[in-house]
């Protein structure tokens, strides 16, 4: 019986390989012999961006393929084996069929063995380390090259990183900003520095950042869209009334909450967090509560902001009818909290592990006690 194996080689600069590649199909009822993948394209079969087809012969039907895109005849069902990692050693690597299975659904003994082996290897690759007392734990690594290959900078990323750093430093020197220590006082000064670093999004933000609708938009489209909650009752430490939120009296909180139009974003986890001292000035970190209303125009707008958790005379509730700059200042406290609470996902951690190592190595000075 012949199995058709389809290999897609990535488009990265150094994805091409001219090495001999072998494959072994392991199924529920048997397995194929170790077979070298040779096709009509010859040595170009694994050139970057190439899709190549091969044939693997078995004497009998091996059933459902448990371990390594396969077009299985005669039922023509396709099994996909996502790999997405570099293979730079001479060890045997096992790749499971891409269908997600719970542990209790993984009934084949080789599938269970592969799962246990992968968990063990991942635990060794991504283990915790204490860089210095008082600092958050980090991944255990002796350098960028000892990180798992799939989270290391790719050749393209490394080139881009070095190019961006060198051109950025050169640009700062040409503009005379490399030794500039004075603070920016307006947006025009910022625009002069980043005059060629604009995008459609940055231009839109620059034009609309003061608007309530754009402020509310960020709660669902910003770095942490999972913190906002539909509000069915107000917390006891947020004494908002109908008169405060709807001064014209056209709506009331009870009806709007029943309609599902009132939302709350509570940053109570930030209360009591320590703050830095910058230029001999103690920094301030609020723990705000933000109440938002979905309008008939289907826009999410803030209607009340309290900057601290405990209501008091020195902790007023800010509303859109306050003076322009009081309301704007109250709104600026929210974006500063988003990056502190957002959840790190795989697209972010892919390059963050290496950049964090470089930051610890390069930004923490050798004479400082934190240096390893």
pLDDT of residue 35: 82
Quick check: 291 and 305 in contact, CB under 8 A? Answer: yes
CA distance 122 to 193: 44
Q: Which residues of 125-160 are buried (b: 16+ CB within 10 A; e: fewer)?
A: beeeeebeeeeeeebebeebeebbeebbbbeeeeee
**Across-strand partners of 53?**
6
Task: State the pLDDT at residue 151.
Answer: 81
Q: Is 282 helix (H, G, I), strand (E, B) or coil?
A: strand
Q: Could you give all domains of the chain from N- to C-terminal order, each with its CATH number? A: 2-99 (2.60.60.20), 212-334 (3.10.450.60)
Query: For every one of its 372 residues, what pLDDT tens digit does the chain have, with 9 covering 90 and above?
Result: 888 888 888 887 777 887 788 888 888 888 888 888 887 787 788 888 888 888 888 888 888 888 874 333 444 566 778 877 777 777 888 888 888 888 888 888 888 888 898 889 888 888 988 888 888 888 888 888 888 887 888 777 888 888 888 888 888 888 777 787 788 888 788 777 777 778 888 889 889 999 999 999 988 887 777 789 999 999 999 999 999 989 887 889 999 999 999 999 998 888 887 778 888 888 888 889 999 999 999 999 999 999 999 999 899 999 999 999 999 999 988 755 555 554 445 555 667 777 778 777 777 655 454 444
Q: Give the pLDDT score at 372.
A: 42
For residue 228, the SS3 value is coil
Q: Inter-axis angle of helices 212-221 and 200-208, to 10 degrees?
A: 130
Residue located via tokens 């293979």:
87
CA 286/CA 341 separation, integer angstroms:
13
What would the DSSP string read from start to end of 62-97? --SEEE--EEETTTTEEE-----S---SSS----B-
Cα of first residue to Cα of last residue in the chain, in angstroms, is 59
Tell me phi and psi for residue 63, to 5 degrees: 75, -160
CB atoms within 10 A of CB 161: 15
Per DSSP, 370 falls in state T
What pLDDT does 69 receive?
43
- The secondary structure of residue 249, as a DSSP letter, is S
Q: Are strands 2-8 and 51-57 parallel, antiparallel or unpaired?
A: antiparallel
Closest CA to 358 of 154, 124, 145: 145
SS3 track for 193-210: HCCCCCCHHHHHHHHHCC
DSSP string of 132-151?
Answer: STTSPPEE--SSGGGS-GGG
Predicted TM-score (pTM) of this structure: 0.52
Measured CA to CA, the distance from residue 122 to residue 78 in angstroms comes to 28
**Cα–Cα distance for residue pair 100/81, rounded to 1 Å:** 11
pLDDT attached to residue 78: 65
Q: Looking at residue 309, what is its pLDDT?
A: 92
- Residue 346 has a pLDDT of 54
């Amino acid at each position: 019986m012949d199995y058709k194996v389809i290999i897609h080689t990535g488009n990265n600069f150094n994805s091409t390989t001219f090495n001999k590649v072998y494959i072994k199909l392991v199924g529920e009822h048997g397995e194929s012999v170790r077979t070298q993948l040779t096709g009509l394209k010859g040595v170009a079969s694994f050139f970057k961006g190439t899709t190549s087809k091969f044939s693997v012969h078995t004497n009998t039907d091996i059933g459902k393929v448990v371990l390594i895109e396969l077009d299985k005849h005669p039922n023509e069902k396709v099994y996909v084996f996502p790999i997405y990692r570099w293979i730079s050693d001479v060890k045997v690597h096992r790749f499971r069929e891409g269908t997600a299975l719970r542990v209790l659904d993984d009934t084949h003994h080789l599938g269970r063995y592969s799962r246990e082996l992968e968990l063990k290897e991942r635990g060794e690759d991504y283990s915790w380390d204490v860089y210095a007392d008082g600092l958050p734990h980090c991944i255990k690594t002796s350098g960028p090259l000892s990180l798992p290959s799939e989270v290391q900078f790719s050749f393209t990323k490394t080139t881009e990183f070095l190019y961006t750093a060198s051109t950025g430093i050169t640009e700062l020197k040409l503009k005379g900003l490399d030794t500039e220590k004075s603070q920016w006082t307006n947006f025009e000064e910022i625009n002069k520095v980043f005059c060629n670093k604009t995008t459609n999004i940055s231009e839109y933000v620059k034009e609309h950042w003061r608007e309530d609708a754009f402020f509310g938009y960020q709660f669902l489209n910003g770095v942490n869209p999972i913190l906002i909650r539909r509000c069915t009752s107000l917390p006891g430490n947020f004494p908002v009334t109908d008169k405060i939120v709807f001064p014209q009296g056209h709506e009331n909180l009870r009806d709007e909450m029943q309609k599902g139009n009132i939302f709350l974003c509570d940053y109570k986890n930030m209360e009591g967090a320590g703050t830095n001292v910058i230029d001999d000035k103690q920094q301030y970190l609020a723990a705000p509560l933000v109440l938002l209303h979905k309008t008939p125009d289907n826009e999410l707008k803030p209607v009340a902001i309290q900057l601290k958790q405990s209501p008091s005379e020195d902790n007023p509730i800010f509303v859109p009818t306050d003076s322009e700059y009081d309301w704007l200042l109250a709104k600026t406290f929210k974006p500063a909290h988003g990056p502190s609470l957002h959840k790190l996902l795989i697209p972010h951690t892919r390059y963050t592990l290496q950049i964090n190592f470089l930051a610890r190595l390069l930004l923490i000075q050798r004479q400082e006690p934190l240096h390893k």
